[in-house]
Structure 1
Amino acid sequence: MRLSLSGVGVRIGSVPIVADCDLTVEDGERVGLVGPNGSGKTTLLRTVYRALDPFAGRVALSGDDVTTLGQREVARRAALVAQDSTPNFDFTVEEVVAMGRGPWLRTFESTIGRGDGPITAALERVRLADHRSRRLSTLSGGERQRALVARALAQESPLLLLDEPTNHLDVYAALELLELVRDLGRATLCVLHDLNLAATYCDRLYVLHRGRIVAGGPPAEVLTPELVRTVFGVTCTHLTHPATGGLLLAFSPRRAAPRRDAADGPVAR
């Protein structure tokens, strides 16, 4: 599965949110989408599963323009774990995961109670097989997120879309969830706020700033101190993680940095 966005622009009503965005996710690749609040990350993600259609450019799944595909076919190719996507009703874990089979079922067909293979496999993969009869409301935050990932796995789509999957999770649960996603080996596009998590778990990153992609590439090449200062308004120092040997960013408020603006010229805001 290959995801490709070419020159994508999106409006909400008459208000432009993102413009001229190019992005790719190759088969088996984990790609992160980062940027400040309001930069357009979720809007861009929504074009992939057709919650929004672009007014300009093209979004393609395996070469097919998503606007030519029905919603069921899009769902067969891309599975979503959205922000605040816990169902309103208090379903059991198994019922929630079974929702992922929707794109493959005939009208009124149900998988509950049939020992459906993809559902069982998904529950086992996220280590919730023993919790399948529990109500979602009785789970911890990390367990609920794993249940929602299991729903996406049961969907058996080759592309996984994650919108802030670590929101409201403690450190252990966030790392556990991203380790799970990494081990899946699926093409993944993940919106993240935490730059260190993005640097650790993504093969490549795209940075959105004021509705435009301003950088793309491997984390160490993209998250330069200059870019972080310009886009996120903080100073950052590149360190080496003592355990993994990977990139580790140390942040401080921009006002704490030495005052060099006069010598360096105007600073982007």
Structure 2
Amino acid sequence: MRLSLSGVSVRIGSHPVVEGCDLTVGDGERVGLVGPNGSGKTSLLRTVHRALDPFAGRVALRGDDVKALGQREIARRAALVAQDSAPDFDFTVEEVVAMGRGPWLRTFESATGRAAAPIAAALERVRLADHRTRRLSTLSGGERQRALVARALAQESPLLLLDEPTNHLDVYAALELLELVRGLGRATLCVLHDLNLAAAYCDRLYVLHRGRIVADGPPAEVLHPDLVRTVFGVACTQLTHPVTGGPLLAFSPLPGGPLPAPAEGAGR
């Protein structure tokens, strides 16, 4: 098992954010984490690479508790593409991708020589080899996200952690990025807002509601109308996609307006 969370609870200050969550990601499996804003998705993801330590429970990468691993070893096992994770300085595409080699380089070693091959391979995989010398700021939103995925690929970690990778992307760029991720064949845990994208590209889904996992399983089983109504506060009809044969959700407002929002501090 590439990733296992057992009874994980997270607090920020005195506020409970996530409570008693169990989650697994197996080899080559694409797992989606969905839920409304404030349900705790990003907080749960952050416990995997120890940006947050759980208040209770255990997070294990390849069977080892992350609390027993250094940051370099965690980065060798899991590569993160976070929201708004582009560097503050305007590096070239190749320089950004080369940052992914950091966990494997010795002190003062540069990303050349042995490290050059994974960088070149990552650029080719995301179809940015011809843009290697361009500044990140000159790329489109979709190209920037592909560059950040390439940085994660150059890291050569067997597990990918993606936090809203399609945020701010148009339909074409979002589909292009998720097709790229699907073609990688790597174990992936992906936080997504769009339920139809999650249904189309994930093998299994975990649904977070008010800091707790309330459902998990294949998308067609998980995203049924009653759950969508309760968790997301909208009416939903589950259809069959005419091309893929997978689930396709059609949404509409609930009569009388949405259900009450979760209490403040219930999840982030």
Matches within 5 A, 1:73-84: 73-84=73-84
User: How much has 1:254 moved relative to structure 2?
Assistant: 1.2
Can you list the C-alpha shifts for 1:45-101, whole angstroms capped at 9, x where unaligned?
Answer: 000001011010000011100010000000000000000011110000000000000
SS in structure 2 of the partner of residue 205 of structure 1: strand
User: How much has 1:255 moved relative to structure 2?
Assistant: 2.3
State how far apart, in whole Å, the 2-side matches of 1:256 and 1:197 are: 28
Equivalent residue, structure 1, for 2:237: 237
Pairs aligned (count): 261
State how far apart, in whole Å, the 1-side matches of 2:18 and 2:261 are: 19
Alpha carbon RMSD of aligned pairs, Å? 1.7
User: How much has 1:2 moved relative to structure 2?
Assistant: 1.6
Can you list the C-alpha shifts for 1:88-124, whole angstroms capped at 9, x where unaligned?
Answer: 1000000000000000001121115877100000000
Q: For residues 115 and 24 of structure 1, do their structure 2 counterparts lie closer, same or farther at Cα, with a shift above 3 Å needed?
A: closer
Equivalent residue, structure 1, for 2:265: none
Amino acid at match of 1:89: F
**Segments of 4+ in structure 1 off by > 4 A?**
112-115, 266-269
Residues 9, 19 of structure 2: 8 Å contact kept = yes
Amino acid at match of 1:156: E
1:149 equivalenced with 2:149 (yes/no): yes
Amino acid at match of 2:36: P
Equivalent residue, structure 2, for 1:31: 31
1:92 equivalenced with 2:121 (yes/no): no
Q: Sequence identity of aligned pairs in percent?
A: 86
**Uncovered stretches (5+) of structure 1, i.e. residues with no partner:** 258-265
1:220 equivalenced with 2:220 (yes/no): yes
Residues 95, 112 of structure 1: 8 Å contact kept = no
Q: For residues 9 and 267 of structure 1, do their structure 2 counterparts lie closer, same or farther at Cα, with a shift above 3 Å needed?
A: closer
State how far apart, in whole Å, the 1-side matches of 2:113 and 2:94 are: 9
Q: For residues 127 and 267 of structure 1, do their structure 2 counterparts lie closer, same or farther at Cα, with a shift above 3 Å needed?
A: closer
**Uncovered stretches (5+) of structure 2, i.e. residues with no partner:** 263-268
Can you list the C-alpha shifts for 1:209-268, whole angstroms capped at 9, x where unaligned?
Answer: 0000000000011001000000000000011111111110000011279xxxxxxxx999
1:55 equivalenced with 2:55 (yes/no): yes
Segment of structure 1 superposing worse, 114-123 or 14-23: 114-123
Equivalent residue, structure 2, for 1:41: 41
SS in structure 1 of the partner of residue 53 of structure 2: coil
Q: For residues 80 and 119 of structure 1, do their structure 2 counterparts lie closer, same or farther at Cα, with a shift above 3 Å needed?
A: same
TM-score (norm 1): 0.94
TM-score (norm 2): 0.94
Matches within 5 A, 1:167-186: 167-186=167-186
User: How much has 1:13 moved relative to structure 2?
Assistant: 1.4
State how far apart, in whole Å, the 1-side matches of 2:231 and 2:18 are: 16
